[in-house]
Structure 1
Amino acid sequence: MRLTLHFILTLSFLFFLETSIIKFEGENVTFHPNITGLQINSYYWTFMQNNQTEKIINVIIGETKKIHRTRFEGRLDTDVKNGSITIFNLTLCDGGTFQGVFFIEGGKISDHIVKLEVKDSDKYTELNILVGTNVTLSSTLQKLEEDQVVSWMFGKQCPEREIANNKKNSSHYGDPFDKVFLNLTNGDLIIPQITVRLSGRYHFLILKGGHPYISGIYDVTVYDADEYIEQNIPVGSNATLSSTMQKLEEYHVISWLFGKLFPEREIANNKKCPSKHGDFFDNVFLNLTNGDLIIPQITKSFCGKYYFKIWMSGYSYISEIYDVRVFDQVSVPNITKSTAPPTNGVCSVTCSVENGPEVNLTWFRGNISISSSSNQNVSTLTLLQHIRGEDSSTYSCRAQNPVSVQRKTLDSQRLTCHNSGTAKLWVILVIILTILVMVVVGAGLFIHRKKWKRGHVRDPQGS
């Protein structure tokens, strides 16, 4: 009797030792009490987190009673032969202290204590979805059998609520889940016209015969493509896209995504080593102080949308979207006078510039815009302007695109706008006046000479 008591006390001491286990989100874990040589009559397991303890399973002489309305409902199984429990599809909220209390015919023999830490992992499917899209989350089943149970749960970090179950009547959860429904053929979850409020983690669990055997997690981020910041950047500049964060903390996980129309690839992540993409993104890097994205000597290949994604409180969301457009500097415009002769004292001058995306030409009289032009279908953009010869205003032509401005002023002093017909008339008038003067002078000389000759004829002796 003393030997048996000593043996039981020794077992009790050994079983009371704490053990620690580290698992990743989405994995399964089994706690083994390692009781051998003894017949367990009953046992129960409790879970403690944040100084709050709840009983999660109770077994009395082979009769299993699972405690409902716990975080492990539908994910917990036990082996009554050895007292072990298994938790399927671990979540980030499952970390805590598990205690198994075991009894034999003679009374309580041990407490088995396990501290579980659940870490985030990459074992989830990450989806970046445009707001308003009809979304289907796959259960991975081809066909749902009669004895299979599919449960979909939602939470920002951990499963907080069940939103669909093929064995339960549809419930009105209220906004925003009242339109979510199951495909009863294969267990897929259908989310019509998804909204930003439906961003979060979707956990699915498939049970057969009451035992979980398939599980998965979708990390869904919903973004609004209409809410973006337009960035116009000159070719060759060093561009910085702001994360809007003052400082990155150790627990922050950030990511920059790139795509022409929607997020297609990750180009930077503060928790991953920089990787070479074999293209123009190889020189892009993160400012690890504040999460800004740095693009040295940007080229037109970098045009597209950049999405800043951050994980906070266990879930992710896209907080900033940049629509990056890259332009060449606009060239200096050229002003030329028309070779056609002026009409009614009006000259024609043309401003021209090498064309490019969103190049615009504008004529100014002083500081007032008087005409403008843009045309993407020509290689050289031109703009005609008519100016009166007596107009003493200052004229200038401005070439502009989203990243640069060039202006050229017209030298009006060198611009002669006299009418050609008027000029010819003046020449004719001058010639006529000259001829008239010559005629008058000639006539006067002729009359004077004639009078002189008459005087000499009448008085021949005095000559």
Structure 2
Amino acid sequence: MFGTVWFSLCCLFGVFGVTDELSLVSVLEGDSVTLHADREMRNNDLILWRFGPENTLIVQINVTESSLTVNEDYDGRFRGSVKVDHQTGCLTITNTRTEHAGRYQLQSGNRRTFFILVVYGDLAEKGEMKPVSVMEGESVSLHTDTELRKNDLIVWSFGKNRIAQINGTTQDVTVYDALQGIFTDRLNVDQQSGSLTITGTTTVHTGVYLLAINNIKKIFVLSVYACLPVPVIFSQCPPSSSQYSSVLCSAVNVSSVTLSWFKGNRLLSSISVSDFSSSLSLPLAVDYQDENTYSCVLNNSFSAQTQHLDASQLCSVRGCQTVEAVIRLVAAALVGVAASAAVVVLIYDIRSRRAEQD
């Protein structure tokens, strides 16, 4: 094995605070390679190993039932070449071939770890390796850093699948509709340089891209990170005897993120999660007379989203106005003319009392 390079996943799969990790691993064809789970299996664990952009299940370990299932029928590439450690869940691929190159996902409960495996045919084949990252939905270009010359043949592959090529002699560009159409209408090839652009990226485009220009090879490891949502702040005004309001900052459908409360630049509290598609909530007691600005920040290793809270404006509407707002909400949910009429009377009575007090 040539070595292992570690990256923090931001979106993608990752990101921020407690993060999923993306491990880039390289191996010579014919050698064995182990993808490490880095912990002992526990009771009730369900260990899943998946491969490729389709996230095809190749190994399942059910600790409770003491069962191990290997999907050797998956296009035959893993038949007789997969071993699993029964103590840790580590995956070993023996007698590696170039078709084993690609993205592997380890899922244990709600925790995920990602591996990008690069398999070299021989020492001379090992080319330049470049990590590239992009936010989901954006475009990304993989550059050849050269000009296309006559007689050049530039071939782009995703894993073992050819996705595009350009012939320098004829200037013909061919784009292949591979892998169940995940690249359909998303690939552009520059006719001057042969550089590849992927538009409208999604997390399924994460993986290893191989550029072959005649006998020169270059490897790109692309990580596509999902965009973070803006956190939402909910508040509840305190009773008249208290000057503190309860606020709650929440984010839904997130993974590998940290949710934090700040007062100015000072961190007050935080919570992290590495689960897949989880919801996070973080409460805070705020003095509504406080003139400081509070911020709720959702972040990962790649980006952040912030929602601000002005404490002085938190409960500017109090007393009867707050009651009236609640009654209006109840009225919207009631069915029947009599019920609606009763609510109208209540609102009118509240307004009359306020007018008398003024």
With the shorter chain as reference, the TM-score category is 0.3 to 0.5
Q: If the length of structure 1 is used for normalisation, what is the TM-score?
A: 0.36
Q: If the length of structure 2 is used for normalisation, what is the TM-score?
A: 0.46
Which has the greater radius of gyration?
1
